[in-house]
Structure 1
Amino acid sequence: MTIVRPTQKSDIAEVSRTLARAFFDDPVMTFMLPDDAKREKGLARLFGAIARYQYLSQGGCEVATGADGAIGGATLWAPPGGWKSSGWTELRSVPAMIMAFGSRIQLGGEVNETMKANHPEEPHWYLSVIGTDPSVRGGGFGHSLMTSRLNRCDAEHAPAYLESSKPDNVPYYERFGFEVTREVVLPKGGPTLWAMWRNPR
C-alpha cells in the first residue's frame, strides 16, 4: 500500500537521497554532473537545498511511502505564481549549490536560466521534480504522487506544467493529460527537455 503525505522538514535528508538515486542516470543531471563517483552526493545536496529553501515552505512537497513507512518517491511542486525563486532563496542556496556543482556551477546556472526563459507565464502548478527510488519502481509510487497533486489541480481548475528530461517519460506524462508544447535544447551541447502542459479536467 502506498501512502502520499505532505513532506515534513524532518524528511528532507531522506527525500534528497531518494531523489539523488532516482536522478542518477537522468540526462540533464549526467550532463551537469558527469562524474559518476560524485553525482549522487552532488544531487543529494542539490535536491536538499531546493526542497528546503524553495518548495517546502510553499506546501508543494509530497512523499510516497510504503507499508514500512520508508520514503520511496517524492515530488517538488510550486503553486501558481511560486515557481520563480526569490533573490533571498537563491542566496541561501548558494553554499549548497557550490558544494553540489563545484567547478560546473556556472553551467548549472546557465541551464537554470534557459529553463526559466522557456517557462510559461500563465498561472499554473509547476512540477519541478518527481522521482522514485529505483528499488521501488513499478510499485505505483509515481502514479500515486502524480494523482495526488493533479486531483488538487483539477479541484482548483488550475493547469499544470513540467519538463520531461527523458523522451521515454513523455508517454507516461501524456497518460495523465500532459501534452508537449515545445522542445527546449539546453546550452553548451546539453540534452533536450520536453515542455509539457496540462489543462485541468
Structure 2
Amino acid sequence: MGITVRPAQLSDVPEVARVLGIAFCDDPIVEWLIRDDATRGRRAAALFAAQARHHFVPLGGVEVACNAAGSIVGAALWAPPGRWHADDADSLRQLPQLVWAFRHRLIVAARLADRMMTAHPREPHWYLAVIGTLPGVRGQGYGQALLRSRLDRCDAYGVPAYLESSKPANVPYYERFGFDVTGTLDVTGGGPPLWPMWRPSR
C-alpha cells in the first residue's frame, strides 16, 4: 500500500472538505454544533471548505494523504506561526458557508471560536487546526504520515506545534508524536471539552 502526502491546491478543496466532513461526523464538538445527524456531514464539509479555501490553502497549510490510486483519503489543515487566526477579510469570505453550516447556531459557533482564540498560545508555533481520515482507512498510517510531514519540518526549523483534541481517545495518539496535554478547555459552556496539546520542537 502506497501512502503519498502532498500539498493541497485550491482545486482539491471540494474533496478535502468532503473527506473531512465524513471524518468529523462523530466528533463531539461537531455533533454539539450541528445537531442534525442527516445533514451533519455535508454541513461540516461546508465549514471545512470555507476554512481551507479562504485561510489554510493560501497559507500553504493544507496537506492531503492519498492512497495508491491517488485518491484523497485524509487531510490536515495547518496554520504557520503568527497566522493561526483568520483576519477579518478571510472571515468575511467564509461567512456564507458558515451560515449554511451552522444555521441558527452560528452565534454559538462564533462564541466557541472566541473562547478558543482567547486560550490560544501566543508563542510562535505551527497550529494543527484539523486532521482527519476516512473511517475505512483508519489505522493504516495515513494520519501518521500527515502528522510526520509537518512535524518533521517543525523540528527542522525549531518551531513548536499546537492542537486541540476533541476526543479523549485521541490524546494518547498525539502523545506518541510528542504532544503534551496542557489542560482542559471548556469552549462549549458545559458541553464537550477540548484538550489543548503542545509539542516543543525536537
- Alignment of 1:99 with 2:100, yes or no, is yes
Q: CA deviation at 1:139?
A: 1.2
Number of the residue aligned with 2:21: 20
Alignment of 1:20-39 (within 5 A): 20-39=21-40
Look up the match of 2:179. 178
Task: Give the superposition deviation at 1:187.
Answer: 2.8
Higher deviation after alignment, 182-191 or 165-174: 182-191
Measure how far apart 1:107 and its partner are: 0.7
Question: CA separation in 1, counterparts of 2:59 and 2:183?
Answer: 27
Distance (Å, rounded) in 1 between the aligned partners of 2:30 and 2:181: 21
CA RMSD of aligned residues (A): 0.6
Cα drift, residue 138 of structure 1: 1.1
3-state SS of paired residue (2:19):
helix
Residue 34 of structure 1, CA deviation? 1.1
One-letter amino acid of the counterpart of residue 182, structure 1: G
The TM-score with structure 1 as length reference comes to 0.99
Task: Report the secondary structure of 1:130's partner residue.
Answer: strand
The 5 A counterparts of 1:53-64 are 53-64=54-65
Equivalent residues, number? 201
- Distance in 2 between the 1:67 and 1:60 partners? 23
Query: Gapped runs of 5+ residues in structure 2?
Result: none
Match of 1:89 in 2: 90
Q: Does 1:73 align with 2:74?
A: yes
- Look up the match of 1:166: 167
> SS of 1:173's equivalent?
helix
SS in 1 for 2:182: strand
User: For 1:81-124, what per-residue CA distance to the aligned partner results, in whole angstroms no more than 9, with x for missing partners?
Assistant: 01011000001111110011111111110111111011000000
Paired residue secondary structure (1:37): coil
Segments of 4+ moved more than 3 angstroms: none
Q: Counterpart of 1:108? A: 109
- Deviation string, structure 1 residues 7-34 (Cα, Å, up to 9, x no partner): 0111100000000000000000000001
Partner of 2:191: helix, strand, or coil?
Answer: coil
| Structure 2: distance between partners of 1:187 and 1:96 | 21
Deviation at 1:174, TM superposition (A): 0.2
2:54 partner letter: Y
Q: For 2:187 and 2:151, locate their aligned partners in 1 and report how far apart those are by CA, in whole Å.
A: 27
Structure 1: gaps spanning 5 or more residues: none
- TM-score, length basis structure 2: 0.98
Q: How far apart, in 2, do the equivalents of 1:21 and 1:15 lie?
A: 10
- In structure 2, what is the Cα distance between the partners aligned to 1:189 and 1:197? 23
Report the secondary structure of 2:185's partner residue: strand
Q: Which amino acid counterpart does residue 116 of structure 2 have in structure 1?
A: M
User: Residues 42-61 of structure 1 correspond to what in structure 2 (within 5 A)?
Assistant: 42-61=43-62
